[in-house]
Amino acid sequence: MDEETVDRLVIEAKGGNTAAFAGIFDEYAAPIYRFIASRVKSPSDAEDLTQLVFVKALEALPRYEARGIPFGGWLFRLARNAIIDQVRTRRDHLPLVTAMTRETEEASPEAAAALRDDLDRVADALANLTDDQREVIELRFFAGLSVDEAAAAMGRQAGTIRGLQFRAIASLRRSLGIESGASATAPASSQTVTVEVRM
């Protein structure tokens, strides 16, 4: 869905159109869930927090003003704040890759072992990043946000996000032994996927 369509849905939802808000939910629920699931202990917690984000969004929508910030970025900032609140109160934060290994039991033993090895390597590489670099990778590649949306979610400038992403990718490539012209590989849910590096 392009930004113009999202903006139209937001205007209609602000006017009380429940179908428009349902369209917003359909567009953002899955990426917000993936982002939250990468940060909390259990899938049920991720589901609860995803619902909470949309409840908060619905409550705050009448006061929402774009001010040059993409709506997706605003929504992910709500998600980020919900995660921070939960981590402060429950202390059950899990590393990104650990949270993605929950369903490896469904694969054959050989495939599961290979996947765990890959995820361990990625976990080690991610652990070498700064917190901000790791969050940029999560927002850009796991949640699928644009640079502007990630900037809005983190409360940073787009140029800062690009710089953090560049340094994070360079560090991941070094840690994983990937040549500079190659794609960066990252997990998404319990599978590995190839993520083309976008700036």
The reply to whether 95 falls in a domain is no
Domain that holds residue 13: 3-90
Number of domains in the chain: 2
The reply to whether 187 falls in a domain is yes
Do residue 141 and residue 75 come from a single domain? no
Tell me the HSE value of 180 on the side-chain side, using a 13 A CA sphere.
Answer: 3
Do residue 108 and residue 190 come from a single domain? yes
Q: Of the candidates 38, 60, 90, which is a domain's last residue? A: 90
Do residue 37 and residue 59 come from a single domain? yes
pLDDT for residue 145: 83
pLDDT for residue 19: 92
Q: Of the candidates 72, 90, 108, which is a domain's last residue? A: 90
Locate 135 and state its tokens.
């969050």
pLDDT for residue 185: 41
Per-residue DSSP letters for 128-197? Answer: TS-HHHHHHHIIIIIS---HHHHHHHHT--HHHHHHHHHHHHHHHHHHHT--TTSPEEEEETTEEEEE--
Distances (CA, A) of 86 to 49, 99, 147, 150, 154: 9, 16, 26, 21, 17
The reply to whether 189 falls in a domain is yes
pLDDT for residue 186: 41
- The reply to whether the predicted model has a pTM over 0.75 is no
Domain containing 34 — which CATH number?
A: 1.10.1740.10
pLDDT along the chain (199 residues), means of 10: 88 91 92 86 86 91 83 90 76 47 57 71 82 87 83 89 91 79 42 40
Do residue 172 and residue 105 come from a single domain? yes
Domain containing 174 — which CATH number?
A: 1.10.10.10
Distances (CA, A) of 133 to 129, 130, 167: 6, 5, 8
Do residue 123 and residue 174 come from a single domain? yes
Count of CB atoms situated within 10 Å of the CB of 133: 21
pLDDT for residue 50: 92
Distances (CA, A) of 93 to 39, 62, 82, 88, 147: 6, 32, 12, 9, 25
Distances (CA, A) of 182 to 178, 191, 194, 195, 196: 7, 19, 10, 10, 9
